[in-house]
A and B are shown apart, each in its own frame.
Chain A
């Protein structure tokens, strides 16, 4: 190399470490997860909103609708209804986070920096895995704030710390599954603006047609059947079991076994969405 006139005497680039594909994938994912979290910290409007919306929901459903629903539904008190409601609110927060994930991915895919990432000797799937990991980290304060809010309005867990932590673990697993749904929607969306239009009409009926607010037994036959088999119901009821909150047990096998169903549904969603998302991402702009 001849000396360049550019300030420094031709600093030769260091050679990249050799490493297995797997090691590179993890290291790339860690680097990009940090990037995504830095984004969240430096432009905190969207993450803060993600914290506030579930709180609003809790107050809205717990107090505005609480009395009506308690009177009509379970025949219990508003306090009991709020205990019944809280696990549903946790899951709703995890479910609606799909919009944030999908929006973030759709925005990222459109950015010029994506061209640089793609032209670098890195694992392309690390970009998606990092989005999933960062959103999972973001779920921690979301859950913490909801727990604090729940405790303030009289909700509590009754089966001990270990079961409560297991419930949080289950919520995180579900959120992990939801990040992959969001990533898939994000890479499928023709542009970032349509993401909200796709996500909310999907998430709203999924949430309402579950055991979130109403036991399936109180719904019309067909809707009750759908609610019973709804993956959201399985996760909500599994959280109720682990937190030791009241739940209204149905008469079918799925209603009796929410925990295995919740794990199976989450696993199935991940196994379906993650490979599809990675495949689609690799083929983007070919």
Chain B
């Protein structure tokens, strides 16, 4: 097959267009077996399209995708036997109960009736849904529905699990629950491809991440590697009065010995600082501001976050979820839930 055997997912030059909109533009991706790959990118970057192609829901216009040892375009049935998919919207039947859902999915995965019932009960217990097993899934809370969705993806212990924004819209407690479940799976040897707009999520779960924008991977590596691309630590000062920005910048320039950047909108000044000097620089800045009679509302030393990586690479913050900051691209008509993103 010409693929490295220890790659659970490999994509080469994937291209997919919806009319005039190019969702994927020669996307390459390699996920070693047993690892978690985070796919990061703003809305419309192509994350969902990439997952849909890898999970055999869509066909790429060009390029090749091999998942769990099988070509996604040529042997979709074989791929489907080895994968689980949890999408942005809980893909469960809202009228059926939680147990009925899991039994149905188990039966459709090829399990016999008795085995399917046993498997459903196992999964309900594992995801703490036993008490709610007899209620229609439509009446579940968002977190419960997502857990049921995740449970359904695990019917056959998939070799590769695709999680497409698994915690979007969840409260922090439910999010922690999903994260714990994902870490357990990875501990048991499952390969996970995770798309997310939450940088914290990627930071917590993923071994490696790929940042994608406009349908191609623009950076790839571990969180540390990505962070190092945007530079080291910085001293940040937020002043109370906009008029204090310039004098504060002067203080930072003097203490840190580097060129500060000012952000008038947030009334923030920040300057790079060497890791060894961080605390000395911080103390110096506090004294300098005090001596100049400048009032700060916040002072701190920051390590670069994935947000900085995002901003540096795409010109947008990860939290910019509306994708509104995208200048040139005309908003494509959202044809169905899969066409965008």
Contact = CB atoms under 8 A, between A and B. Distances in A.
Which of A7, A17, A115, A116 has the most B CB atoms < 10 Å from its CB? A116
Nearest to B106: A14
Contacts of A189: none
A280 interface: no
A17 B125 contact: no
B300 to A, nearest CB: 35
Contacts of A285: 57-58, 336, 338
Given A14-B119, A285-B338, A286-B58, A115 B187 contact: no
Interface string A31-61: 1100100110011000000000000000000
B319 interface: no
Nearest to A41: B95
Interface stretch (B39-47, B82-90, B228-236, B275-283): B82-90
A13 B100 contact: no
A13 B154 contact: yes
A16 B81 CA distance: 9
B109 A120 contact: yes
B105 interface: yes
Contact of A119 (B56, B100, B107, B154): B56
B81 A5 contact: no
Interface string A11-26: 1111011110000100
Nearest to A12: B157
B141 interface: no
A195 to B, nearest CB: 16
Nearest to B89: A112
Which of A8, A115, A118 has the most B CB atoms < 10 Å from its CB? A115
A19 to B, nearest CB: 7
Contacts of A286: 58-59
B87 A112 contact: yes
B112 to A, nearest CB: 6
A136 B188 CA distance: 45
Given A8-B122, A16-B81, A113 B93 contact: yes
B91 interface: yes
Contacts of A202: none
Which of B107, B115, B118 has the most A CB atoms < 10 Å from its CB? B107
A1 interface: yes
Which of A5, A27, A35 has the most B CB atoms < 10 Å from its CB? A35
Contacts of A1: 188-189
Nearest to B108: A122
A35 B110 contact: no
Given A10-B188, A35-B93, A286-B59, A17 B126 contact: no
Nearest to A285: B338
Contacts of A8: 122, 125-126
Nearest to B87: A115
A119 B85 contact: yes
Given A5-B187, A42-B95, A119-B85, A17 B111 contact: yes
B30 interface: no
A4 interface: yes
Given A7-B126, A116-B91, A31 B187 contact: no
B156 A119 contact: no
Contact of B105 (A11, A14, A116): A116
Contact of A121 (B55, B77, B95, B119): B77
A129 to B, nearest CB: 13
A88 to B, nearest CB: 35
A17 B110 contact: yes
Contacts of A11: 122, 126
Contacts of B149: 116
B74 to A, nearest CB: 15
Nearest to A7: B126
Contacts of B184: 4-6
Interface in B204-259: none
Contact of B92 (A13, A14, A27, A116): A116
Nearest to A13: B157
A58 B37 CA distance: 63
B88 to A, nearest CB: 8
Contacts of B301: none
Nearest to B115: A14
B91 A4 contact: no
A28 interface: yes
Contact of B110 (A6, A19, A32, A43): A19
A16 B104 contact: no
27 contacts: A1-B188, A2-B187, A4-B187, A5-B180, A5-B184, A6-B180, A6-B184, A8-B122, A8-B125, A13-B155, A16-B81, A17-B110, A18-B110, A28-B107, A31-B107, A32-B104, A42-B95, A112-B337, A116-B85, A116-B105, A116-B152, A119-B85, A120-B80, A120-B108, A121-B77, A122-B108, A122-B109
Interface of B: 55-59, 77, 80-81, 83-85, 87, 89-96, 100, 104-105, 107-112, 115, 118-119, 122, 125-126, 128, 136, 149, 152-157, 180-181, 184-185, 187-189, 336-338
Q: Which 6 pairs, one residue from A and one from B, show the smallest C-beta to C-beta distance?
A: A16-B110, A13-B157, A112-B89, A116-B91, A4-B184, A6-B184
